[in-house]
Structure 1
Amino acid sequence: MVMGKIITVTIDGKSCQAKFGQTILQIARENGIYIPTMCYLTKVKPIASCRMCVVNVEGVEGMILSCQERATDGAVIQTQNSELYHERKNIMKLYNVNHPLECGVCDKSGECDLQNKTIEFGLDEQNFTTRDIHKPVENWGFVSYDEALCIMCEKCVKVSTEITGDEALQVESGGYASKIINVKKDKNYASLGEAAAVCPVGALVNTD
């Protein structure tokens, strides 16, 4: 099928027209259908780290990541049911592991995606924790990074590599110990402010 050709899909019972090549999430958003996300950015390639955007597609086994799955003509998609809700709620429980529940003193309070989703999914306590490790705040000139608050959504890395192009931020993999690192600290890029602007939890903030 040629890119740009119009297709029709059904999302939660609503018939939606879209361009061939669009993802399920893009089509849903264009049609006012809510699918929760924590790592999605419109101007970069799908990150697919949060898994909050899972949906069911008729005829396809299991859950599908709507942020990266391109819709096919005639697809019947479900974005809300008890199975999807519990999957997303369990993901939120993992996000809240050892994340300091100090919203009252956090600069991001009221504008925090994690806080909003925690309320949305009815989570008012941390069900389990990992071993607490001291994580000092790092100062990177124009921004500071608090690893203890970071949920590893990788939005800032995508902005650094695909939008500003400074390529200063990278992921240092290590399982639960994974973190964001600045590989160009000596450059003191002002463009890191754009990366801080997309942080959903206040882990990366402007210092000026």
Structure 2
Amino acid sequence: MDAEAWNARYGEAELLWGTEPNTFVAAEMAAVPPGRALDVACGEGRNAIWLASRGWHVVGIDFSEVGLERAARLAGCAGVADRVSFRLVDVVSDPLPAGPFDAVIVAYLQLAAGPRRTVLRKAAAAVAPDGTVVVVGHDTTNLSEGIGGPQDPAVLFSPADVLADLAGLEGLVVEKAQRVRRVVPGADRDAIDALVRLRREPLPGRG
């Protein structure tokens, strides 16, 4: 989907995914000390706003103007507008905001393999020493074994795909790479997501 399609989709609904953060983003970031964070393809801002509510200073980026306008309103309602900013960025073709960031979140950015690799490598390059990268999205097995999510297998990915996308980048330590199940209210089975968490090695003498 392009920016106009996402603008239309956001415009047709009050909130697509609610205001609560993604389950896995919240779990992975709950114990990480606040710093500066980048939320890649932030949509309506639920993860960025949650991070800001926990003391983070967050930059949320997306190519949907409608999504970003809603995110800014929600940040104001949540009382965190001073700790989060939203910028119009095409995460595939544009440079990412200047880092480094103590945390970079890429949640449910479902792209074909080539663009996905481009974005993930830019995202990983933006993380600071001793910083955290969290990638979560609809897993390849969700199409046959899970429920919901995109029905195009070309935009689904596995934890192994994420690690392959980041292969060759120095200083990244894999802390978690697994398939995880996500409860879907009212459904008779779970959704299956791919979850990867990485840490950039600290500078010498600071680890």
Q: Smaller-chain TM-score range? A: under 0.3
Query: Whose helix fraction is larger, Structure 1's or Structure 2's?
Result: 2
Query: Whose strand fraction is larger, Structure 1's or Structure 2's?
Result: 2
Find the structure with the greater CA-based Rg: 1
Normalised to the residue count of structure 1, the TM-score between the two structures is 0.25
Normalised to the residue count of structure 2, the TM-score between the two structures is 0.25
